[in-house]
């Protein structure tokens, strides 16, 4: 299998519960690297992830992982690691015992070394001999991650892994993910924390109302949303003067001037704006203080897609 081949292939997948359609005709491929699965609450992300890992069946369509159907195919779980969104663990078990039991269940050879490595990876060596109901939420999440990684799976599917993690842990977690991806693994991660996903994910899948709203790199998605003009905020000495000049540009849709003097330019061609704006400012003898894009972020892409 070459690096470009799809590791996870979701084909025409739908899932309904009675008369409620949770996932509707979704198709996409997941390749090695980090893929972020995003969407508002109730969009169907968890249902989709459960179908991708064989925990739930599809009402229609197929899911294959590493070339094999994932449902009712236990041997495939040797190569997949899954962390669900539920935080419950076997409270009475000590952390190390839990990771060890999971390792044994997944057929890991050289047990103690693998467990040591997994626990070191999540930085919980100090507490591994304590029962897990004495752990904080973040520690439980990390120990669960250790159990998910202990059998060194090629494919990792993580549902809201950052739930309950404090900022420091989130930074640590991001670097863990990057290390894992650098080894050639395929990671699918669902999250609400857009900034983090923006920073680690190569590809993003946006699910809205059970349907796949967009997929790809988020900047590419943004560019594809061409019925949405970019918003650029300009702070200058004489906003209204500059505004009257800017509005004449063919690449500009509209210009708004706030009561406190900030100018927001709506344009479909920022490249053109980038070139013309300083020229216009110079000609009008208006000093430009600040030019910043307002919606060059995953959050705004998300917002646009969710709204529409």
The site that binds other proteins (CB under 8 A) totals a number of residues, namely 27
Site membership for other proteins, residue 19 (CB under 8 A): no
Report the residue number, 102 or 286, with the smaller CB distance to other proteins. 102
Report the residue number, 75 or 167, with the smaller CB distance to other proteins. 75
- Residue 124 CA to residue 139 CA, distance in Å, equals 8
124-130 contacts at long range (C-beta below 8 A, 24 or more positions apart): 124/95, 127/95, 128/94, 128/95, 128/96, 128/99, 129/94, 129/95, 129/96, 130/94, 130/95
Going by C-alpha positions, the residue among 5, 45, 70 that lies closest to residue 197 is 45
Report the residue number, 108 or 273, with the smaller CB distance to other proteins. 108
Site membership for other proteins, residue 106 (CB under 8 A): yes
**b (16+ CB within 10 A) / e for 4-15:** eebbbbbeebbb
* Site map 240..279 versus other proteins, x via CB under 8 A: ----------------------------------------
Kindly indicate which of the ranges 28-36, 60-68, 102-110, 271-279 contains the residues binding other proteins, using the contact rule CB under 8 A.
102-110
Local structure of residue 77 (DSSP, 8 states):
G
Residue of 20, 72, 182, 226 that binds other proteins (CB under 8 A): 72
Distance of CA 261 to the CA centre of its chain: 36
Report the residue number, 98 or 230, with the smaller CB distance to other proteins. 98
Query: Closest distance between other proteins and the C-beta of residue 84, in Å?
Result: 5
Residue of 7, 13, 82, 146 that binds other proteins (CB under 8 A): 82
Site membership for other proteins, residue 88 (CB under 8 A): yes
Q: Which residues contact 128 (CB under 8 A, 6 or more apart)?
A: 94, 95, 96, 99, 119, 143
Residue of 11, 24, 25, 55 that binds other proteins (CB under 8 A): 55
- Residue 220 CA to residue 189 CA, distance in Å, equals 20
Site membership for other proteins, residue 105 (CB under 8 A): yes
Report the residue number, 159 or 198, with the smaller CB distance to other proteins. 159
Site membership for other proteins, residue 56 (CB under 8 A): yes
Query: What count of other Cβ atoms lies within 10 Å of the Cβ of residue 54?
Result: 20
Q: Alpha helices, DSSP H only, in the chain?
A: 45-52, 95-105, 111-121, 137-149, 167-182, 194-200, 218-224, 239-246, 270-283, 298-307
Report the residue number, 94 or 117, with the smaller CB distance to other proteins. 94
Q: Which residues bind other proteins (CB under 8 A)?
A: 50, 53, 55-57, 72, 74-78, 80, 82, 84, 86, 88-90, 92-93, 101-102, 104-107, 147
């Amino acid at each position: 299998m070459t690096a470009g081949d799809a590791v996870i292939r979701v084909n025409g997948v739908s899932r309904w519960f009675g008369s409620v359609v949770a996932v509707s005709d979704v198709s996409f491929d997941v390749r090695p690297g980090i893929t972020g699965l995003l969407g508002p609450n109730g969009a169907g992300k968890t249902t989709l992830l459960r179908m991708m890992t064989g925990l739930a069946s599809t009402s229609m369509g197929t899911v294959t992982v590493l070339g094999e159907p994932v449902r009712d195919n236990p041997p495939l779980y040797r190569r997949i690691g899954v962390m669900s969104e539920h935080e419950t663990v076997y409270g009475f078990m000590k952390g190390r015992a839990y990771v060890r039991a999971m390792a044994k269940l997944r057929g890991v050879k050289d047990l103690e070394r693998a467990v040591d490595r997994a626990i070191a990876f999540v930085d919980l060596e100090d507490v591994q001999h304590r029962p897990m109901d004495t752990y904080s939420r973040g520690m439980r999440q990390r120990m669960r991650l250790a159990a998910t990684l202990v059998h060194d799976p090629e494919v990792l599917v993580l549902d809201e892994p950052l739930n309950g993690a404090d900022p420091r842990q989130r930074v640590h977690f991001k670097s863990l993910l990057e290390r894992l991806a650098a080894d050639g693994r395929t990671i699918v991660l669902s999250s609400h924390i857009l900034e983090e996903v923006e920073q680690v994910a190569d590809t993003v899948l946006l699910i809205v109302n059970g349907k796949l709203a967009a997929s790809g790199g988020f900047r590419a998605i943004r560019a594809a949303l061409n019925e949405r003009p970019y918003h650029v905020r300009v702070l200058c000495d004489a906003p209204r003067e500059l505004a009257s000049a800017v509005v004449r540009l063919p690449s500009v849709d509209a210009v708004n001037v706030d009561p406190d003097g900030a100018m927001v330019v709506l344009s479909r061609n920022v490249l053109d704006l980038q070139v013309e704006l300083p020229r216009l400012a110079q000609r009008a003898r208006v000093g430009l203080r600040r030019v910043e894009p307002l919606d060059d972020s995953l959050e705004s892409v998300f917002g646009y897609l969710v709204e529409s």
